[in-house]
Amino acid sequence: MGRPTIIHTALLNNFMNTRRRILEKFVNLYPPFLGAGIRSQNIDERTIRAQLKMNFLNRNLVGVHFGGSLYAMCDPWFMLILMRLLGKDYIVWDKAASIQFLKPGVGTVRAEFHIPQERVEEIRAQADTQHKVEPIFTADVLNEQGEAVARVEKILYVRRKK
């Protein structure tokens, strides 16, 4: 078997993209998300929207969204988006996170996670020239009126594979 041809490479890339899309659909069946009522939707390769409908499993003692469910709704997305955009030559891990509760969350809440291309290229350039880079991302959790009920800050760890 010789070197891969352009056709073989295209077929492999298509298979990997199809596999990724299937896995992204099944993330909604991940037990912590399913139990909490968290649903995600891929908007494009740079953007994911997540929502959390209030139910008896994610309501705390005072009748508002449990803070752990609000955080869980926001946890993996920046890492997964950046992994997808940087590709297999880079290591991307969550390093730290914080959540600030701004007001009680009731009803359905949502958040959007987006990484612009310019930011990806900046991170790639830093990872290529430095040992590591630790980019910071933020996202607001919004209620049905569009008001922020929480703000999540994520610090990622990125480096080029050796």
pLDDT of 37-82, one tens digit each?
Answer: 899 988 888 999 999 999 888 888 999 999 999 999 999 999 999 9
pTM over the 0.75 mark = yes
Rounded CA separation 21/125 (Å): 27
Whether residue 12 is predicted with pLDDT greater than 60 in this model: the reply is: no
Structural domain of 75: 31-160
Does 87 map to a domain?
yes
User: For position 17, what pLDDT does the model report?
Assistant: 61
Taking the CB of residue 58, how many other CB atoms lie within 10 A of it? Answer: 23
Does 22 map to a domain?
no
The edge-to-edge listing of strands for the beta sheet with 47-53 is 38-44, 47-53, 108-114, 136-142, 148-160, 90-101
User: For position 80, what pLDDT does the model report?
Assistant: 92
Q: Domain holding 155: CATH number?
A: 3.10.129.10
pLDDT 10s digits, 81-120: 999 999 999 999 999 999 999 999 999 999 999 999 999 9
Domain count of the chain?
A: 1
H-run or E-run covering 127: helix 117-129
